[in-house]
Amino acid sequence: MKPPQIEQGLAELVPPEARLTPIALELPEAMGYEAWVAVGSKLCRAEALMKWWLGDWAAFGLRKYGQLKEFAAANHINYQTLRNAAWVSQAVALSRRRDSLEWSVHAEVAGLKPAEQAKWLAKAESDRLPVAELRRQIRVAQGERNALESDGPVVKFVVKALDDLVHWLVSRPGDFWEAERKRVWKERLRPVVEFWEKL
């Protein structure tokens, strides 16, 4: 049994010879490269717009009806996804949104004050910053010690262990570093030095 055709408005994203259903996009084998690129551009644009539309819709529902969680449960939709989209839409006013930037860039600055949002969005646009680099620069600017670390707990543990090791090494008294100990520790630290030189 074939899935039903999708709503007419969404079907306009693809040429008539393609078939768009709720679970598939079937493209004709004869489709040329330019036509394929055109379809991809429309789909990517629609996906980017949909995040804002969903966020504004969810924010409206929260503000007016307060029933977002109930809607999500009744329709088997992830509530946190809707809540996050609503939060970004509520936090980033229409006047600060930039059509040239991905929604994820706006999500990255949503927790900042409006003037800071505007500043970082302008920087992201002018410098063409990817999200990860924007996040890093914001953290550095805010003085976070972990600005250059991953969010992962394993990496944080390793960084803490490295900090502890450095502290232990520099706090050893001078007479601790007799010739044999120096030799052993130079060998142990050599891979760290070699890695540092490659950075």
pLDDT per residue over 73-125, tens digit each? 999 999 989 999 999 999 999 999 999 999 999 999 999 999 999 999 999 99
Same domain, 132 and 106: yes
Whole-structure pTM value: 0.64
Q: Is residue 141 part of a domain?
A: yes
* Residue 105: domain span: 94-148
Q: Tell me, yes or no, whether 134 and 157 share the same domain.
A: no
Task: Look at residues 148, 171, 189 and tell me which one is the last residue of a structural domain.
Answer: 148
What string of H, E and C letters represents the secondary structure of 9-29? Answer: HHHCCCCCCCEEECCEEECCC
- Angle, CA of 91, 96 and 102, to the nearest 5°: 85
Tell me the per-residue pLDDT of 139-155, one tens digit each, with 9 for 90 and over. Answer: 888 876 555 555 555 55
Last residue of a domain, one of 132, 148, 164: 148
Asked if residue 114 is part of any domain, the answer here is yes
Same structural domain for residues 139 and 158? no
Residue 45 belongs to a domain: no
How many distinct structural domains can be found in the chain?
A: 2
Q: Classify residue 165: in a domain, yes or no.
A: yes
173 and 186 belong to one structural domain: yes
* In a shared domain, residues 98 and 142: yes
Specify if 122 maps to a domain.
Answer: yes
Burial of 57 (0-12, 13-18, 19+ CB in 10 A): middle
> Looking at this protein, which amino acid is placed at residue 103?
W
Residues 158 and 122 in one domain: no
